Chains A and B, each alone.
Chain A
């Protein structure tokens, strides 16, 4: 493994991660980052945040070296982590999220069920106002060059009575406020045969299938199917979604990657 040359991670055919043509374009697109138990996508998210803010990806791509300031307004919404988690993680990428002006963190984690949604069994209106607030924060950012990340919104399906369609509609509206939306979700144990609409498994599966149908890019991170390997952490699959990007093509590739304890990342083509 040590002899093979490690590769740069690229998502699009112009060798970029988040291309300029999408940020400056007119359309809105959605991308899914899905992961399974055992392979957390934090390292990838950190690199995408870095790329969105300043066009570099220090840890995963050696070609993207030119820093570009004011590239996009990056908004990060998380339902399972606080800002501290990402500001610590992004230090390795050479970014201090607390001082970057183009970065906005919306914490939907800390007080989600203590302030925002007090009654999860009747959550519809509270979820609606939560998403209204999110849309307002995103809209209040100047310009149209916006990239939004939303992490684990499916927790709302697992923890409250809202339906998958409600969440999907909220996400659709949210997506329209930005050029590129990255939806980060765990993909463990879907069941396409689920039949009870109130069952969280049904809701999450329905949510996932419908998201896949409206997406333009799908990045899937999972452990190796063959089991554990000491020098390989997992595999990363970049595939196009059913909806094509107007200006650019997705570079479909399967990588295997290795992360060391000090968060160094190496990628190889599979």
Chain B
């Protein structure tokens, strides 16, 4: 349960018609998800069957790298998982969050954009369990919130409108043949066509980073107006209640981790703690430094202990716990990466809306400030980037792009108008 339910603003405000049509999708909904799952089922076990006997004899690292949800970091080559938001993966520079590491999402103002990211992180974990039939690649642990929190998990993005969809299908089909040629996985089966539909955005990122489809299942694109169907099962997700004794919570979490790793040591475990210490979820006793700091410190120890399986994302509201408060600055020290979402104030939003009134898709909702990045910051690199990126909570994904104040556009706009006036 978020502090403000469904308060997230959907991009493209001024033209609501674009975001509205949810109608074409339900018709396809039941058909589409099944296809790719079954098709991939046949594809991946074959790959696993070859690898698994070898990986068992080798060390954990080899095992985890065989997990289709894992890829090596672009910088350090350590096993990394996707956050479910490909742009966030990009600004983390590892193309995701390295296993054994944690991310703290800070958010100023009373909005709840961070829950969009957190839910995509969960959905991504659930989706990884649907790559291979009867093989679970990941497990999600959600701490602190009731299970209803996961009712709002975003579903897969299936295109923005009928036309775009058709265009993409055509595009994909043409691409399928190209990549089939260059790809050893190619089997020439017909269902693969549908399977590719799932990998819409992997291809985009794959091309960008000069990768081939060996990480095709690494991440998906999520649509916040869609519900994840079918919803997560108890195989996918566990909920941990917060109790005043942090030792109990930790042993509960560790119990789940051990159980999951016993089933399959190559599983990735995604731990999510939404709205840390939000007073609607947490009673005041949890804000005591003797609870929260040992709790997070011990989680850090757990991350190091299960460095090839566990990763953590938590969010915190800066309105309640400002950055210069002792709590947040201590947390920033204990987390491996910290990203601050700073929604625009009213004046700024108005300015941007005015500047992009002809291009509503360009409207950003706030700044993304990087405070700390996994591995790089602890090595001593200065990773603080203030106000260099902006985020857009679009329907099709949580976009992060380089930020520039749209002043020029306003100028151009006016110039165009004035020239027009002169002409008349």
Contacts of B324 in A (CB 8 A): 188-189
Contacts of A265 in B (CB 8 A): 380
Whether A270 is near chain B, meaning CB under 8 Å from some CB there, is no
Known contacts A159-B289, A189-B324; decide if A43 and B380 are in contact (CB<8 Å). Answer: yes
Partner of A259, one of B246, B307, B333, B380: B380
Contacts of B379 in A (CB 8 A): 40, 42-43, 89, 259, 263
Contact A113 B326 (CB under 8 A): no
Shortest Cβ gap from A40 to chain B (Å): 5
Q: Which residue in chain A gives the minimum CB-CB distance to B291?
A: A120
Contact A38 B298 (CB under 8 A): no
Contact B246 A37 (CB under 8 A): no
Contacts of B295 in A (CB 8 A): 113
Chain B 295-331, CB within 8 Å of chain A: the 1/0 string? 1011011001101000000000000000011100110
Q: How large is the interface on B (under 10, 10 to 19, 20 to 34, 35 or more residues)?
A: 35 or more
Q: Classify the secondary structure of A's interface with B.
A: loop
**Distance A43 CA – B377 CA, assembled complex (angstroms):** 11
Contact A37 B290 (CB under 8 A): no
Contact A113 B294 (CB under 8 A): yes
**Distance A44 CA – B380 CA, assembled complex (angstroms):** 9
Known contacts A120-B290, A160-B290; decide if A39 and B304 are in contact (CB<8 Å). Answer: no
Contact B293 A233 (CB under 8 A): no
- How many A residues face the partner with a CB closer than 8 A? 46
Contacts of B380 in A (CB 8 A): 39-44, 233, 259, 263, 265
Shortest Cβ gap from B234 to chain A (Å): 27
**Distance A161 CA – B294 CA, assembled complex (angstroms):** 12
Known contacts A82-B304, A114-B250; decide if A158 and B382 are in contact (CB<8 Å). Answer: no
Whether B137 is near chain A, meaning CB under 8 Å from some CB there, is no
Contact B384 A110 (CB under 8 A): no
Whether B135 is near chain A, meaning CB under 8 Å from some CB there, is no
Contact B304 A200 (CB under 8 A): no
Known contacts A121-B288, A121-B290, A188-B329; decide if A223 and B298 are in contact (CB<8 Å). Answer: no
Contact A38 B290 (CB under 8 A): no
Q: Which residue in chain A gives the minimum CB-CB distance to B300?
A: A80
Interface residues of A (CB under 8 A from B): 37-44, 80, 82, 84-85, 89, 109-114, 117-118, 120-121, 123, 152, 155, 158-161, 186, 188-189, 199-201, 204, 223, 227-228, 233-234, 259, 261, 263, 265
A-B CB proximity, top 5 nearest: A159-B293, A113-B294, A120-B290, A43-B380, A121-B290
